[in-house]
Amino acid sequence: MQLISAQLTAATVAIRSVLNMEYPADAVLRRFFRENPLLGANDRAFVAETVFGVLRHKYYLECLMDLVTPRALLLAYLAKFQGMNLRELTPHASESEVKWLTAIKSIAVDKQPLAVQAEFPAWLVEKLQAFMPDADILDLGRSLQQPASLDLRVNTIHAKRDNVLEALKQDGFEAEATPYSPVGIRITGKPAINRHSLFLSGHIEVQDEGSQILGYLLAPKRGDMVVDFCAGAGGKTLLLGALMNSKGRLYALDTSEKRLNNLKPRLKRSGLSNLHAQRISNENDLKVKRLAGKIDRVLVDVPCSGLGTLRRNPDLKWRQSPEGVQELKQKQAAILAASANLLKSGGRLVYATCSFLPEENQEIIEQFLVTHPKFSLLNCAELLAQQKISLETGEFLQLSPKSHGTDGFFAAALTIKKDEPSKLKPEKEPIKAEEKELVETKAHVPAKATIRKTTKTAKKEPPKAEKEKIVKVVKKKPAKTKNKEA
């Protein structure tokens, strides 16, 4: 690759814009390109690649310099990770910069501390060491330093995967079926797929394979009532609608009007007719409460740290903090509790994050089960096997870039326990006893009438002769009592 001074200048400005970490890097880059419309396609590609490359290796690059500047980060990245030699860089560098670049060429990454090698901030390494050995932390970090693959999802409302694969190959794309998702396709490189006719016609959508698997874990059926509780721009919602074959009713709920607006053009391309997008103020919105106990399937892809997506969003590890994770945990617990109220007996809820921290995953589920004893866990591996997807990750679904080639995902499947018949009997027995007593009381009503009749007869005045005999008997009784006592 031959360097152009204009590209170096543009990349330096873009890196400076991103480094304050105030906004997501992809949003900053989009704004940068809008403000610099004269940049060509190659220029844009160079700027985007170097900006994200610097963010992926920022920790190590900063260790190579005394004074951290956007230009120094760019030159160091090109020398250490893009394999550019000094002959290529010298025309664009000062004498002092060339001397410094010569010195850092010999500094090996594997001689650095664990946090630097893994490219994780110290607070994150500390959290990971609570449940992972250092070797696994390093493997995880290195896998997240690699660029993510371009995964597509075939919209089965419009097409079949084999036909789409054939069409893409005929158009010169290096494409193959994803190993796990039945509707996934993986593309080599970073082509502008959003300009392809298959994309514009709604036959394909860009979606990570791990995200696709969440839809198959939920496994909605035709005619079901389904809720995507944190729908965002609707990638998973559209998959659920396709799995339902556009039958039944599918709600896409989100607190952001902007995100739901981004769903509209995708929905139009999808061909779905059963999707209803609704903005809610929070998890306790009246629109949510009206659906209580009516829903067959609920997907809850909660807001999270996003650390499982560092291949795509490397700036997240520098923008996130322990305090931020703590706030997210409270929000996650509240959203899970609210969304669980929607589920009907025998239904299924899938809780998901794109994080690998147990405090956002297993611990949230464990706390929920303690406070909601009517719910129980389902085995994710068994549920996916029913969909002919072989993924042995245990009771929970746990995906990682190194093991599965996807973003880092966690998911748990929950259902409402069905009441056992034996537990219902004690509640019915008192009712039956009361009913029996009521029946017996009604059966003895004639006897009461007889008693009243007898009482009235007894109250009649006895004949005079009998009355005198009674009086005499009464007078004699006290005398006999006194003689007995004496």
Give the Cα-Cα-Cα angle 125, 127, 133 (nearest 5 degrees): 65
Indicate if the alpha-carbon torsion angle 214, 217, 221, 224 is positive or negative.
Answer: negative
- Please report the pLDDT score of residue 1 as a whole number: 59
Exposure class string for 468-479: b at 16+ Cβ within 10 A, else e: eeeeeeeeeeee
Query: What backbone phi and psi angles, to 5 degrees, belong to 59?
Result: -60, -50
Residue 446 has pLDDT above 60, yes or no: no
**What band does 332 get if pLDDT is binned at 50, 70 and 90?**
very high
- Whether the per-residue pLDDT at 411 is higher than 60: the answer is yes
More confident residue, 438 or 324: 324
Q: What is the pLDDT of residue 268?
A: 95
Residue 59 scores a pLDDT above 70: yes
Flag whether pLDDT at 5 surpasses 90: no
Any long-range contacts for 76-85 (C-beta under 8 Å, 24+ apart)? Answer: 76/101, 76/104, 77/50, 77/53, 78/3, 78/50, 79/104, 79/105, 80/104, 80/105, 80/109, 81/53, 81/57, 82/1, 82/50, 82/53, 84/1, 84/3
What does the chain come to in residues?
Answer: 486
Catalytic residue, chosen from 63, 230, 304, 354, is: 354
Strands 249-254 and 275-279: parallel
| Helix/strand/coil for 203 | coil
pLDDT at residue 424, rounded to an integer: 36
Q: What is the pLDDT of residue 105?
A: 83
Q: Which sequence spans correspond to the domains of the chain?
A: 5-112, 218-416, 422-485
Q: How far apart are CA 62 and CA 70, in angstroms?
A: 10
Indicate if the pLDDT at residue 443 is higher than 60.
no
Known catalytic residue: 354?
yes
**DSSP, res 348:** E
Residue found by looking up tokens 């006719």 in the block: 197
Residue indicated by tokens 């944190």: 230
**Phi and psi for 378 in degrees, rounded to 5?**
-110, 155
At 4 the pLDDT is 82
Tokens encoding 165:
């694969």
In this structure, what DSSP letter does residue 121 have?
-
> What residue has token string 């760019």?
74
The dihedral built from the CA positions of residue 461, 467, 471 and 477, taken in this order, carries a sign that is negative
- Section 282-310 average pLDDT: 96
- CB-facing half-sphere around the CA of 118: CA atoms within 13 A: 22
Q: Give the confidence band of 459 by pLDDT, cuts at 50, 70, 90.
A: very low
Mean pLDDT of 401-423: 84
pLDDT at 436 over 50: no
Q: Is the pLDDT of residue 481 over 80?
A: no
Q: Cβ distance 364 to 333 under 8 Å? A: yes
Cα 393 from Cα 414, distance rounded (Å)? 16
State the pLDDT at residue 9.
94
pLDDT greater than 60 at residue 447: no
* Average pLDDT score over residue span 120-133: 97
- In degrees rounded to 5, what are phi and psi of residue 36? -130, 70
Which of 204-208, 304-308, 408-412, 415-419 comes out lowest in average pLDDT?
415-419
Work out the mean pLDDT of the chain and round it to a whole number: 88
Handedness of CA 351, 355, 360, 362 (dihedral sign): positive
**Mean pLDDT value across residues 365-378:** 97
* Rounded Cα gap, residues 157 and 181, in angstroms: 16
- Residues contacting 46, CB < 8 A, separation 6+: 7, 10, 11
Residue 263, number of CB atoms within 10 A of its CB: 21
Instruction: Kindly report the CATH class assigned to 218-416.
Output: alpha beta
Pairwise CA distance, residues 222 & 249, whole Å: 9
Of 84-98, 229-243, 380-394, least confident by mean pLDDT is 84-98
Instruction: Name the DSSP letter for residue 273.
Output: S
